[in-house]
Homo-oligomer: A and B are copies of this chain.
Amino acid sequence: MIFDPATDKPQDECGVFGLYSPTPNDLAWLTYLGLFALQHRGQEAAGMCVSDGDRFHVDKDLGLVTQVFDERRLDGLRLPNARVSIGHVRYSTTGSNLRFNAQPLTTRTNKGILGLAHNGNFVNAREVRSGMLMEGALFQTTNDSEVMLNLIARESHMDLVEATASAMKELKGGYACVLMSRTQLLGFRDPHGVRPLVIGQRDDGAWVLASEPCALYAVGARLIRDVQPGELVWFDREGLHSLMVEPKRPTPCSFEWIYFARSDGELDGVDIHESRLRMGAQLAREKPIEADIVVPVPDSGIGAAIGYARESGIPFDYGLYKNPYAGRTFIAPTQEARELKVKMKLSPTSAVRGRRVVLVDDSIVRGTTSRQIVNLLREAGATEVHFRVSSPPITHPCFYGIDTAARKELVASTHSIEEIRALIGADTLAFISERGLREAIGGSGLCGACFTGEYPAGTPLLNDVDKLALEV
């Protein structure tokens, strides 16, 4: 049995990246750096395509960016006069045969060769796909990008930008996409801006699109602005073009600030690290407790723990050592896997011995990991463990690209907070309030569907098993 010890967290599905360079550039190398910076958004597969206006190279495979692109394979993509490129990292699953679902998806169309990579989910993809199948379309993957590409190709009388705008109107959901032809780079974000996409520029004039600012910095670009909800941007020799296709009330995903996004950036004008400090402070105000130290669950709880410590005046300490090699898969006999998973990753330090501990984490999904961490702290001599969570209870699944879990697996959808507390064995348990979270993040609107069940960008019509599924 192979397992990944880093679990029981909401899982982002993907990161996207794109480059348009008015002058020849080593785009394969820059895309490699950009994807490396976005690696936390997806560990299952990585891919990129690069064009010099004539040739159009693509390579992708299962694995981390550094595993897929060894020197030989990266060299195979290094076109000397490259102008356009896109890249993609995909989330981690245990499936090993999903090779052919890796992105970018590339295809020849009546608009020339196109490459597309997306983050997020189209909630009506199945309906659209069914209709196109009836019209004679082929679907070689189970990848939503293929639906988008079919929609674009179908509009044979339109140019690429028009056809893309038309496809944006047809597909519902939360998504951010990068799309390239031999000579253009396009990027677009769903009408509510649920998934993030930022624009950057390098000093040499090259334009960059990425899921997060960290990938801009990685290639020496500065943050210009976010792509707006419902906006379609494209880059060619003339520079940056923009079309507001279908903007609606912005509701970016709150979990980007809670957990997904790297703390060294900002999204939609809100700094990630600072918002986490504010979540922690808010939590301290909402759910105070008398204790000796504040301990984060590393690394995702660090920001909120510092905020909690500062607001409460309780000293921050490093009470859980995190094994930096724990992200790597390792062998585990089934029966022991549960306990080992956490134990090989996290280990208490002497800081917790004889102390009343406030343990701060960003979220609780199933609760299994939380129980084991509480247990580890108690075994190490913590006299009290007060669990504080910088997100509200997760009660509903996400349909916009986040793999939380089936609803019945979400501990907060079936248990009261007191029941969860008992389950994980904490002395007290408290979550930040939804209102408190919105205040801590700030901004005009947020998607909190997983806390509230209110889905701003719609839900799938068909929930039955996809009978057309091609198992590859």
Q: Enumerate chain A interface residues (CB-CB to B < 8 A).
A: 2, 29, 32-33, 36-37, 39-40, 55-59, 64-66, 69-71, 74, 76, 96-97, 100, 105-110, 112-113, 133-140, 146, 149-150, 153-156, 214, 217-218, 262-264, 266, 271-274, 299, 302-303, 306, 310, 315-318, 321-325, 327-331, 333, 340, 343-344, 347-351, 468, 470-472
Contact = CB atoms under 8 A, between A and B. Distances in A.
A40 B138 CA distance: 32
A140 B71 CA distance: 26
Residue among A76, A105, A133, A146 having the largest count of chain B Cβ atoms under 10 Å? A133
A434 to B, nearest CB: 25
A133 B109 contact: yes
Contacts of A135: 156
Q: Which of A136, A149, A154 has the most CB of B within 10 A?
A: A136
Contacts of A471: 55-58
A185 B318 CA distance: 36
For the residues of A in contact with B, the DSSP-based class is mixed
Contact of A76 (B97, B146, B153, B347): B97
A140 B137 contact: no
12 contacts: A64-B325, A65-B325, A66-B330, A107-B139, A107-B140, A110-B133, A133-B153, A136-B156, A263-B318, A264-B321, A273-B318, A310-B315
A73 to B, nearest CB: 8
Nearest to A273: B349
A109 B340 CA distance: 38
A128 B149 CA distance: 20
Given A55-B471, A325-B40, A347 B264 contact: yes
A218 B274 CA distance: 36
Nearest to A112: B468
Contacts of A58: 470-472
Contacts of A333: 29
What are the 4 A-B residue pairs with the smallest beta carbon separation, nearest first? A264-B347, A273-B349, A264-B321, A136-B154
Contact of A262 (B150, B155, B321): B321
Nearest to A154: B136
Contacts of A323: 36-37, 39-40
Given A107-B140, A136-B154, A470-B106, A69 B36 contact: no
Contacts of A310: 315
A48 to B, nearest CB: 12
A108 B318 contact: no
A50 to B, nearest CB: 10
Nearest to A275: B350
Contacts of A40: 323-325
